[in-house]
Amino acid sequence: MSQRYRLAGAGRVDRSSPLSFEFNGKQYQGYRGDTLSSALLANGVHLIGRSFKYHRPRGIMASGWEDPNAQVQLESGGHTLPNTQATVTELYPHLRATSQNCWPSVEHDVGAVNSALSRFFVAGFYYKTFKWPRKAWEPLYERVIRRAAGMGKAPAEEDPDRYEHQYAHCEVLVVGGGVAGLAAARAAADSGVRVMLLDEQNEYGGALLGSSGESIDGMDALDWVASTVAALRENPKVTLLTRTQASGYYDYNYLVATERVTDHVGPQPTADQPRQRLWKIRAQQVVLACGAIERPQVFADNDRPGILLASAIRHYQHRYGVLPGKALVVLTNNDSAYHTAIDAAAAGVHATVVDVRPAEDIGAADRARKAGVVVLENSAITGVDYRVKRGIRSVAVHRLSPDGESLVGGAMHIDCDLIGTSGGWSPTVHLHTQARGKLHWLDEHLCYVPAQLGGNSNPRRSAGGCNGALGLAEALAQGHAAGSDAARDCGATTASVSAPAAQSNDFTLGKIRPLWVLPCEHPVGMGKKKHFHEYQNDATVADVQLAHREGFSSIEHLKRYTNTGRGTDQGKLTNVNGIALMAQARRQNVPDVGFTTFRPPYTPLAFGAVIGQNTHDTFIPARPTAMHPWHVEHGAVFEDVGDWKRPWYFPHSGESMHDAVQRECKAVRASVGVLDASTLGKIDISGPDAVRLLEMVYTNAWQKLAIGQCRYGVMCNEHGMVFDDGVTTRLGEQHFHMTTTSGGAARVLEWLEEWLQTEWPDWQVFCTSVTEQWAVVSLNGPRARDVLAKLTDIDLDEESFGFMRMREGQVAGVEARIFRISFTGDLAYEINVPARYGRYVWEQVMEAGAEFDITPYGTEAMHVLRAERGFIITGQDTDGTVTPMDLDMDWIVSKKKPDCLGKRSWTRSDTAREGRKQLVGLLTQDPEEVLPEGAHIVSKVLPKPPMEMLGHVTSSYYSPNAVHNGSTGRSIAMALLKDGFARLGDTVDLALIDGRHVRAKVVKPNFLEEAGDA
Amino acid sequence: MLMIDCPWCGRRDQSEFSCKGEAHIARPVDPFALSDKEWGDYIYTRSNPKGEHAERWLHSQGCRRWFNALRNTVSDEFIVTYKPGEARPDTSAAASAEVSP
């Protein structure tokens, strides 16, 4: 029969809107307004999956995020979402879900053999068993364990859904839309501040949605909810977000929340809405109204499907019209669970309460008995008769001894198919503790509540259930006060609206009895029955005792040893039970054993939501140059340099990368090549103290540089180590144009600013980044002058425009600065034009160069060409431990200057010592052998590492131009080598990672016979 | 995510700033008058206090100006920010004023 556990006329589901859905291949019916769990329970399906370690059958325990086991794999393909909580998955048409962690099916699970072997699968089993041999870990143990102890499966395909991020600001942020949250939002909104109200559910009301018979301000409580929400909705300063879970609370009241925008309508790849939206909210004041979560009792076989939190049964009854049993037994240590029995009895279900407390402590017994509920005092459930196929059939009940630690008399059996359990309530303090809040143990309520706040950077209040206020009136009053106090602390004038008044006949805890584990016929952990204190990770009371015996009695050790409170559970349901059991084992009071740290996220977050829109083309900003479209049209292969897109090489059709690079390198030396050098960092430096600045940041002298002259410079940090280099040109008496490496532009500008702002604030210098303002066409090769001459009337002959000079004039009709500087060692001109003309001038250069067979080349050829002349690339041939002297560049260090950054460090004992690594060239014995960059030079080759390392290869290429035995073409390399300069002419050994060993001759790094311009 | 009061711009999100290490370490006027040890202390040795720490910060995604801040390294709270060149504020008086009734 379809939906045989659906109650007639009850609940908030839409009976006119039936939906069909599929679970484990079987079709079922539910209604719009159901969750997957309420629809499954309506159909009598309790069994959802298998447990993590023992593969025990597990079912739905709760009605919200706190459920430890009702997790399914939702949908398939790219849309699939593993570890989806059935309890919060809203039903949509044709939803498909499957069980996790079972094979071949949830009813017949092979892994259940673990349960029979549970003697061996105790806490710490994996740590103890799979320690050795080390080699077996990755190929064997990890693979087997991951499959056996897995949860859902990660999608193998790309996620077709969209996600987005949104930032928001408000004065008062209220987390939780139950009565306390609504009262807080109303009070804050009435005083005129901007309010955001978040609730994880699809509708407001919180715990009220799962109760009945309450009224507020003289109306039915849910009508009060509706009218309050309507009033908030009309207020333009209030933002209401449902289906939105605040999962992280960070410093300075910065909270992260996930809005499930279209999850409730199912996969909709064409929809213009994102699937989820991640909110990043900064609030002046926060009101936490997250409610409380009921705690299960720990008793024999308390993990059977069909055992639910007492409050969850009531929630399913009133919210969804589902009462998933015909005979109910409620096990409790407090009064609140009596509501479940009374309401079930009213719906015609036979209900029994097994209460561990003596009769005199029970406040709710009379009303329950009047409602037809059987109440057994001083008793406990000591066994559950359960079969996978048929579910729960009965429970065994014993009377307890006065101390509650043993049993009196024989067992009584009660037929039932549904069990509710309540061990008290745990305020949801997760966000409070994430915000560095402390906790306070309330012994009379057996729960932790937020402690008084001191001054801190996260101004917030807790109200309602999460503050320990379990009764309706108290929650309303706290919420109202918190909302108006928060608004007042934002500087608002608080409105004089009075707090809503509740008319409630609800039981709260009454006199709760701390019995953390209920006995059965055999000692806990010694017989067949298991007492789970933690369901998601299969941790039992016996595991806690074992952890204590083995010395893992710190609460943080317990957490790691037994996995208590880890995974998606994060201590929602059972943390307090675990702590209390350890306190018992240590013979201490609960607050004395401490509390584990709750970390964000409170509920699992989809990776898609974390990534948001930052994927594919919007993953990272791309910086194209002005010539970029030309490069694309001409088939360039691009390389990312910082954020820049740079042509790496320009392959002709059918050419490999190697072929293209060799051709480009040859063409530059033979005729002329052209490089897009626009990415070069450029800084405009001006002011009366500009020279003074250059004198301090560069190692060489700048006073006498004439206007129109260029000079190469190296920058060192205060440790004396090279960190950038480039050419700087004097444009005017107090005006310079500095260039830096492409990747170092921002770093160098920041370096200049750091000194100017923090150390020399009285110096008058402006530094302006002009990298983006200039496009740079770099012409290189013996025919460079011939090409440029066709485009400009500037006199290019050696006398009037020599090396390291700059001239201003027109190139192809565009105002340009031409720098005669060279990174290839050949004749070269760097033509700088305003970026908007970059592509035009590039095309003119290509046209003018056509008769010389001009060749565009990319960064790879640029690297080879500079290495042929031994020019360094900072960051490749240097690594932050290299001085100018180590680079054989003493010539760049002024001996006359009294000071510059880093200078003092060159005479420190370590910088001045013998035996430093120095930059040299390497020629492999086999000219065709191209060394891998990073290859180690060793003092002596041994069969296997370790070997004494003398240095490493920093740059290595095959150069078509390098001279070898009278012809050209061979492998070239640069290396940092211990005492490198003293080893010139020596042969060194290199041990390669593939096990081979190669010999190379140490040379000066200049691999061309004929010297060019430099 | 911290909120930082840039003395030039006002309160902004942490993501606009970079932390630049300990503040109030002046570059020696004559580095060559220092021994290796003294110079080594200037470039390498930093305090690592538990509690109040004077730091340099850069509003790198904003006005690009440098400033100093006193931050509590335990609670991550910014106690005060101030401009370069200003003396480190004395917070002991303010702290004792807070606790006195």
User: Could you read off the pLDDT of A15-32 as tens digits, one per residue?
Assistant: 999 999 999 999 999 999
Q: Partners of A164 in the beta sheet?
A: A277
Is residue B58 less than 8 Å (CB to CB) from chain A? Answer: yes
pLDDT digits (tens, 9 = 90+) for A869-915: 999 999 999 999 999 999 999 999 999 999 999 999 999 999 999 99
Q: What is the pLDDT of residue A758?
A: 96
DSSP letter at A47 equals E
The answer to whether A904 contacts B66, with C-beta atoms less than 8 Å apart, is no
Is residue B33 less than 8 Å (CB to CB) from chain A? Answer: no
Q: What is the pLDDT of residue A493?
A: 84
Q: Structural domain boundaries of chain B?
A: 3-26+40-99
Q: Where are the alpha helices (DSSP H) in A904-960?
A: 909-912
Tokens of residue A324, six digits: 């998933």
Q: What is the pLDDT of residue A137?
A: 61
- Give the ipTM of the model, two decimals please: 0.94
Q: How far is CA A830 from CA A214, A307, A642, in A?
A: 82, 79, 22
- Segment A481-498 shows an average pLDDT of 88
Q: How far is CA A550 from the centre of its chain?
A: 35
pLDDT digits (tens, 9 = 90+) for A112-123: 666 666 666 666
Strand intervals (E) in A707-755? 710-716, 722-732, 735-740
Is residue A719 less than 8 Å (CB to CB) from chain B? Answer: yes
Q: What is the pLDDT of residue A129?
A: 61
Candidates A251, A436, A753; nearest CB to B1: A251
pLDDT digits (tens, 9 = 90+) for A341-381: 999 999 999 999 999 999 999 999 999 999 999 999 999 99
Residue A107's CB is within 10 A of a number of other CB atoms, namely: 12
The answer to whether B77 contacts A909, with C-beta atoms less than 8 Å apart, is no
Is residue B26 less than 8 Å (CB to CB) from chain A? Answer: yes
Q: How far is B36 from chain A (nearest CA, A)?
A: 6
Q: What is the pLDDT of residue A142?
A: 62
A987, A1000 in Cβ contact below 8 A?
yes
The answer to whether A457 contacts B75, with C-beta atoms less than 8 Å apart, is yes
Is residue A899 less than 8 Å (CB to CB) from chain B? Answer: yes
pLDDT reading at B97 higher than 60: no
- Spell out which residues of chain A touch residue B76, defining contact as CB-CB under 8 Å: 251, 457
Q: How far is A748 from chain B (nearest CA, A)?
A: 13
Confidence bin at A752 (pLDDT 50/70/90): very high
pLDDT digits (tens, 9 = 90+) for A235-289: 999 999 999 999 999 999 999 999 999 999 988 766 688 999 999 999 999 999 9
pLDDT digits (tens, 9 = 90+) for A1005-1014: 999 963 333 3
The residue behind tokens 């790309």 is A158
Confidence bin at A950 (pLDDT 50/70/90): very high
Q: What is the pLDDT of residue A416?
A: 97
For chain B, first and last CA: distance in Å? 32
Tokens of residue A336, six digits: 């609140």
Candidates A436, A761, A898; nearest CB to B85: A761
Q: How far is B49 from chain A (nearest CA, A)?
A: 20
Q: Is the dihedral of CA A216, A218, A220, A224 positive or negative?
A: negative
pLDDT reading at B11 higher than 70: yes
Confidence bin at A148 (pLDDT 50/70/90): low
pLDDT digits (tens, 9 = 90+) for A382-420: 999 999 999 999 999 999 999 999 999 999 999 999 999
Angle A823-A825-A828 from CA coordinates, rounded to 5°:
70
Q: What is the pLDDT of residue A143?
A: 62
Q: What is the pLDDT of residue A553?
A: 87
Tell me how far apart the alpha carbons of residues A591 and A580 are, in angstroms, rounded to a whole number.
9
Q: How far is B42 from chain A (nearest CA, A)?
A: 9
pLDDT digits (tens, 9 = 90+) for B43-68: 999 999 999 999 999 999 999 999 99
Q: Is the dihedral of CA A32, A35, A41, A43 positive or negative?
A: positive
Tell me how far apart the alpha carbons of residues A190 and A483 are, in angstroms, rounded to a whole number.
10
Q: What is the pLDDT of residue A132?
A: 61
Burial A557-578 (b: 16+ CB within 10 A, else e): ebbbbbbbbbbbbbbbbbbbbb
The answer to whether A758 contacts B75, with C-beta atoms less than 8 Å apart, is no
Nearest to A149 by CA among A90, A187, A97, A100: A100
Tell me how far apart the alpha carbons of residues B22 and A483 are, in angstroms, rounded to a whole number.
41
- Spell out which residues of chain A touch residue B65, defining contact as CB-CB under 8 Å: 757
pLDDT digits (tens, 9 = 90+) for A577-624: 999 999 999 999 999 998 888 889 999 888 999 999 999 888 988 999
A774, A833 in Cβ contact below 8 A?
yes
Global model pTM greater than 0.95: no
Q: Which amino acid is at A464?
A: G
- Segment A423-430 shows an average pLDDT of 96
Using CA coordinates, name the residue in chain A closest to B32: A904
Is residue A757 less than 8 Å (CB to CB) from chain B? Answer: yes
Q: Which of A285, A721, A753, A757 to mutate to test the interface with B (most CBs of B within 10 A)?
A: A757
Q: What are the φ and ψ backbone dihedral angles of A718, each rounded to 5 degrees?
A: -65, -15
- Segment A547-566 shows an average pLDDT of 86
The answer for residues whose C-beta is within 8 angstroms of residue A269's C-beta and 6 or more apart is A79, A160, A161
Q: How many CB pairs under 8 A join A and B?
A: 58
- Spell out which residues of chain B touch residue A719, defining contact as CB-CB under 8 Å: 43
Q: What superfamily in CATH does domain B3-26+40-99 come from?
A: Folate-binding superfamily (3.30.2270.10)
The answer to whether B77 contacts A757, with C-beta atoms less than 8 Å apart, is no
Is residue A457 less than 8 Å (CB to CB) from chain B? Answer: yes
- Segment A659-688 shows an average pLDDT of 98
The residue behind tokens 């004023």 is B97
Using CA coordinates, name the residue in chain B closest to A169: B13
The answer to whether B31 contacts A250, with C-beta atoms less than 8 Å apart, is no
- Spell out which residues of chain B touch residue A252, defining contact as CB-CB under 8 Å: 1-3
Candidates B13, B39, B75; nearest CB to A904: B39
pLDDT digits (tens, 9 = 90+) for A174-197: 999 999 999 999 999 999 999 999
A999, A935 in Cβ contact below 8 A?
no
The answer to whether B32 contacts A899, with C-beta atoms less than 8 Å apart, is yes
Tell me how far apart the alpha carbons of residues A464 and A290 are, in angstroms, rounded to a whole number.
8
pLDDT digits (tens, 9 = 90+) for A197-245: 999 999 999 999 999 889 999 999 999 999 999 999 999 999 999 999 9
Q: What is the pLDDT of residue A1014?
A: 32
The answer to whether B31 contacts A904, with C-beta atoms less than 8 Å apart, is yes
Q: How far is B2 from chain A (nearest CA, A)?
A: 6
The Cα diameter of chain B in Å comes to 53
Q: What is the pLDDT of residue B96?
A: 45
Confidence bin at A127 (pLDDT 50/70/90): low
Q: What is the pLDDT of residue A50?
A: 86
